[in-house]
Structure 1
Amino acid sequence: MADSGLAQRAPSGTTHAPKLADHSADRRMLVLMAMALVTGTGGAAAAWVLLKLIALVTNLIWYQRLSAESLPIAAAATGPLVLLAPVLGALAIGLMARFGSDKIRGHGIPEALEAILYGESRLSLKVALLKPISSAISIGSGGPFGAEGPIIMTGGAIGSLFAQQFRLTAAERKTLLVAGAAAGMTAIFGTPLAAILLAVEVMLFEWKPRSFVPVVASVLTALAWRPLLIGSGPLFAFTGTLGEAGPTLLIAALMGCIAGAVAALLSTMLYRIEDGFHRLPVHWMWWPAIGAVAVGIGGLIEPRVLGAGYNNIQDLLDGRLVLGAMMLLFAAKAVVWLIALGSGTSGGILAPLLIIGGAFGGILGHWLPGGSGPWAMIGMAAVMSASMRAPLTSAIFTVELTGHFTALPATVAASGAAFAVAVLVLKRSILTEKVSRRGRHISQEYSIDPLALGLAGDLMTPKPDTLPEDMTIAEALKFFEAGAKHRSYPVVDPAGRPIGLASRSDALRWGQGEGELDETIGEQLSDRSLPVATRMTPANQVANLMITENIGRICIVDSKTGKLLGIVARRDLLRSRAEHLRAERERSPKA
């Protein structure tokens, strides 16, 4: 048998060691991939329902007709209705949150993250039903939001509910939750690559085939349904082009740096506004209605700020807005969106970020080669990247939305620069700050566990002190009373194979009369199973074995003979991690 992998001593004394591999995937991945076909279909269907609900509410409120045709709010936003509609919609949302579920408040992604990290990826049927309804009311009544955050939450809830019908682990439920969320985003925007990257950068908190492959299957399933349900082709196609590569990349990076500061300002303002609402002497149920007053006033000033405003994105990309109109849209959309979102109403953040970023890029592009349209696309990528801390998602998202894949180097330059500024200026993103305010901490930095790079053979103490199995309890008591150096010792048979661990706590029980003094410690330990590992067992698996078996020392054996070679204690694992920390922090002198 090859000397590799984790081993556990069976009653017969044999050891079994699985093969080591680059990845931990097994056949369960195929099961999840098959289940992801369901979440992909569910996410696409939920996206279609949400868009129809938004259109239905929009037509009922603004056009006074029963229709599911998608129409812009700005064309009908006149008179007292501009003030009244957002407030009435927000009142309805406040009531739904108060007496239905408060998880429908906000834009959905922080709630999904919290469910993944702290709720075992369990979302309720109530959330799956109320989130799209509340979001449709919010957006259809004039709320300055998009459908993407709600569909991420709704698609995630569908994946979670489906997973809860089976005997799955929390990690497997997480995979299906994220698969449903990514499918919903794909169906809305037609951006499969960006949806997969969003799952990896923001939601999965891991990079494993077990989760990646099902997410891909779910996204592609939603993409296959999209032409039948919603439509095909880029959502915001336009004809403008950028200039020469060299100057364009430099300008895009500089624009990204400014966008990083803009996004940091937006995030700071959002949570200051939210703090202001928390200080109001009224129940939070009324906050959305109070925030909606600002939405109505903003609609009177610039009707384009009402609703999702996807037509605004198209106008910015096509270069149809003059400089003054872009400036007004940038300022008004930012203000009403921040106030509305800070009030705790329901709605997404991607569409507002695209409009704000597009207006920002279009304003700067007014003086740049190529015109405002292409630079609006660059601004969208930059502001989204800095706000969500998802540079790869943002760069790919904008080129998939527009079909301008030749602009990918420029969107990467802008997204990367904006991301760099944002992480230096703010501790948390617009997504994780809300979770942090609930007493949770999220780290979005992923790295290889240093223990996964080491092997038990590198960490073990070779030739450890042992006790023979034929030692009597009386002799063992004298040994521990005489001042044993260690808390526990491997007990070995005449062939040098470990049969158990004798500890000070064992000696305490023996001293209190548990066992006859002339009985051997081998007989006392015969009914215990002894977890062991081999020299080629990864150190992180040794740590996992310590946790599952609730012991502090693991015997390292030869996989062929079962003979004891060494022992790994907790301090050995800590020493390995300490060496990794030194490599991260200590700067070596110049060569």
Structure 2
Amino acid sequence: MSGRKQEIIQNPMSLAEKEQSTNLNERPLPASLMFFLAVLIGVVGGLGSIAFKAIIGFFHNLFFYGEFNLNYDANIHTQPSPWGIGIVLVPVLGSLIVTWITRTVAPEARGHGVPEVLHAIYYGQGRIRPVVVIAKAIASSVTIGTGGSVGREGPIVQIGSAFGSIVGQLTRLPAHQRVVLISAGAAAGIAATFNAPIGGLAFAIELLLVSISARTVALVAIATVTATYISHFYSGLLPSFDVPSLAVFENHIIGFYTLLLCIPLGILLGFASSAFIRFIYYMEDWFDHHFRNDYVRHMCGMFAVGVMLYLFLRYSGQYYIGGVGYATVMDTLRRTLSDPAFLALLFLAKLLATGLTLGSGGSGGVFSPSLFLGATLGAAFGNFFALIIPEAGIDPVVFVVAGMAGMVSGSTGAVLTAITMLFEQTRDYSAMLPIITTVALAYVVRISQTPESIYTLKLVRRGARVPQGLQAAVSSARSARTIMTNDYQIVEISDLPEWQASHRPGQGPRHTVVAQDGEILGLAHDELQYLLRDEDPKAVIDTNFFLVTARTPWPTLIRGMRAKNTEKALVTHNQGSTRVEDLLGVITPREIAHSSGAGAELMD
């Protein structure tokens, strides 16, 4: 017999499956220990959020004012820098540091972070390099602190996820538990950054968790609670955007007009979200095409941002579009900015500045720019209609809040997150109906124009797809009993030569189980037996199989088969029994494919 035939018989798994085989040293932890790790990750998420804000403040004060100071309130406009027109060089100096980090330390630190986390979850077995924590924190802090138009949430998601992955690797957890810790780290960072524990939980459920169950949700939830509680010591108990209460439906007729206007606003935000997604990646491609040197590329992009900052300061009195932009968002919520034309200008300028920052190689998130874009577009829309139909009693602030939620929903695809985050960030339930209406329409319109979100499009461009939205874990609900087949026959090893001589593939029972003295030896290679008729009868027996009971769930079955490097499982009445009388069924790739197909019929 040739060596190739011997390899096929003894090790029938594909090369891809061999490469993905589960590490035998990895062992799942019980729920109690996972709970402890989730709390630990929540603590680090809360402290990490505080430290991240302080680092941003350090770089911001150093580059804008030449001072060593950690204080920085993003909700208050940055005071004019003493450098005057020299402010245009501040983002350029930051670009040198960021480019050095992304070129020499961690390329993953470039961009907005969440796509890298998704890639690690779906294509990297939940493994993120530890160096990403430091590299992303510094690179994003420099980008934001020197005026780059990006947000804090992408970096804190990547930082929290990296820590969760590190904990999972140090404790040698299997991939499915590492993913839960990654999601807990990301959710903790979001919750602490925005003082929004429910929003952080929703973010993890919609975008990161592969398996959604009471257990995984509970672990993520305790991480968000812990992180938010710790962040209160730094940021207090107030919401991210503390604004006067709205009274949308005190007059039901006025409330109806507002709700009616949310329909065109939602449609407008859907197109704006699509434009935002496409523009970010268009700028990436444009810089890739025109610049070969990473340093020159990023310096040119940030020089343009610096010029925009100076021009806004010179002609409007504020930088407006730099950094996370929350001060401008506060202006729209407090009705300080009400000119529709200027608000539209801010929308376009922020869109351009964000494209320049991320497209040229900056590091930072897209959630905060989405809030800015939604706030300015919603404010322009609301103030415009308040001017032309004053008798309708329209409150533009309602459209600001709805605009922020709609833009987040449209660009990220996280509908539930957008609704819960905006409620937690304003603590005002009055605008909930306009928010939900706007969010739903913005999302539907965006996917009709651009099917992929701003997070998933980056991966699709690399040839890697990830699921979008929630799907029931139909496969996970199945057990070995629902997957197995009882279409098998038992052949004694002494009768194997006769079976070899008479058997034809595709005829008779689907599987042949070989036994000796009432003990199962293995399964016959039905498809190969005709090649081995002149060999020892035992050569046709595959003795590598995985034993399960009828109640063994799908995930345990698949992980066990991969750990044993086999494609075959035998279902028995008693755990570990190889007695013929205990045999209930057989599972091979054919049964698994059939079960998966049946489950897929239930999914969209």
Between stretches 471-480 and 118-127, larger displacement belongs to 471-480
For residue 295 of structure 1, the aligned residue among 305, 315, 326 is 305
What is aligned with 1:413?
437
Which amino acid is 2:99 matched to? G
Structure 2 distance, partners of 1:113, 1:482, is 43
Contact 2:157–2:185 under 8 Å retained in 1: yes
State whether structure 2 residue 61 is matched by structure 1 residue 37: no
Alignment of 1:50-65 (within 5 A): 50-65=52-67
| Matched residue SS, 1:30 | helix
Alignment match, 2:230: 225
Change in CA separation of 1:90 and 1:454 when aligned onto 2, cut-off 3 Å: closer
Residues 1:85 and 2:87 are matched in the alignment: no
DSSP-derived class of the 1:354 partner: helix
Quick one: structure 1 residues 566 and 163, their matched pair in 2 at CA, closer, same or farther if it must change by over 3 Å? Answer: closer
- Per the alignment, residue 403 of structure 2 pairs with 379
Residues 1:157 and 2:173 are matched in the alignment = no
**Structure 2 CA distance, aligned partners of 1:454 and 1:321?**
56
The question of whether the paired residues in 2 share the 8 Å contact of 1:145 and 1:347 is answered with yes
Distance 2:378 2:505 in 1: 77
- C-alpha change, 1:208 and 1:84, in structure 2 (3 Å) is same
Could you tell me whether the CA contact under 8 Å between 1:187 and 1:230 is conserved in 2?
Answer: no
* 2:268 corresponding residue in structure 1: 258
Whether the 8 Å contact between 1:498 and 1:555 is mirrored in structure 2 is no
1:206 is displaced (CA, Å) by 2.6
Match of 1:475 among 480, 484, 498: 498
The gaps in structure 2 that reach 5 residues or longer are: 1-27, 250-254, 313-318, 387-392
1:232-268: per-residue Cα shift (whole Å, max 9, x none)? 2111111142533544444334322221110001111
Q: Is the 8 A contact 1:382 1:414 kept in 2?
A: yes
TM-score, normalised with respect to structure 1: 0.84
The separation in 1 between residues aligned to 2:50 and 2:163, in whole angstroms, is 14
Are residues 254 and 501 of structure 1, via their aligned partners in 2, closer, same or farther at CA, if it must alter by over 3 Å?
same
Query: How much has 1:379 moved relative to structure 2?
Result: 0.2
2:376 counterpart of 1:359: yes
Change (3 A) 1:306 1:104: same
Among residues 283, 286, 303, which one is paired with 2:296 in the alignment?
Answer: 286
CA distance in 1, matches of 2:524, 2:333: 73
Aligned residue number for residue 319 of structure 1 = 335
**Residue of structure 2 in register with 1:75 after alignment:** 79
Distance (Å, rounded) in 1 between the aligned partners of 2:231 and 2:569? 53
Specify whether residues 458 and 85 from structure 1 end up closer, same or farther in structure 2 by C-alpha distance, changes over 3 A only. closer
Q: Which amino acid aligns with 1:236?
A: F
Cα deviation for residue 436 of structure 1 reads 2.0
Rate the CA distance shift 1:158–1:533 in 2: closer, same or farther, 3 A: closer
Please identify, of 37-46 and 472-481, the stretch whose mean Cα deviation from structure 2 is larger. 472-481
Q: Give the C-alpha shift of residue 449 in structure 1.
A: 5.2
Match of 1:343 in 2: 360
2:246–2:430 Cα contact (<8 Å) kept: no
Q: How far 1:221 moved relative to its partner? A: 0.7
CA contact (8 A) 2:471 2:603 kept: no
Aligned sequence identity (%): 27
In 2: Cα distance, 1:120 partner to 1:580 partner: 23
On the 8 A contact 1:468/1:491 being kept in 2, the answer is yes
SS class of match (2:240) = coil
Which deviates the most, 146-155 or 395-404? 146-155
Match of 1:101 among 106, 122, 125: 106
Alignment of 1:186-585 (within 5 A): 186-244=191-249, 245-302=255-312, 303-323=319-339, 324-366=341-383, 367-368=385-386, 369-448=393-472, 450-452=474-476, 462=486, 464-468=488-492, 471-480=494-503, 485=508, 488-491=511-514, 500-504=522-526, 505=528, 511-513=534-536, 528=543, 531=546, 555=570, 562-564=581-583, 567=586, 570-578=589-597
The change in CA–CA distance for 1:100 and 1:556 in structure 2 (over 3 A counts) is closer
Residue type at the aligned position of 1:35: L
Deviation at 1:378, TM superposition (A): 0.6
Q: Give deviations 1:126-165, integer Å, cap 9, x for gaps.
A: 2211211121211111111222211111222222223332
Quote the Cα distance in structure 2 between the aligned partners of 1:160 and 1:461: 38
Paired residue secondary structure (2:290): coil
Q: CA–CA distance in 1 between the matches of 2:106 and 2:478?
A: 47
Deviation of 1:551 after TM superposition, in Å, equals 5.8
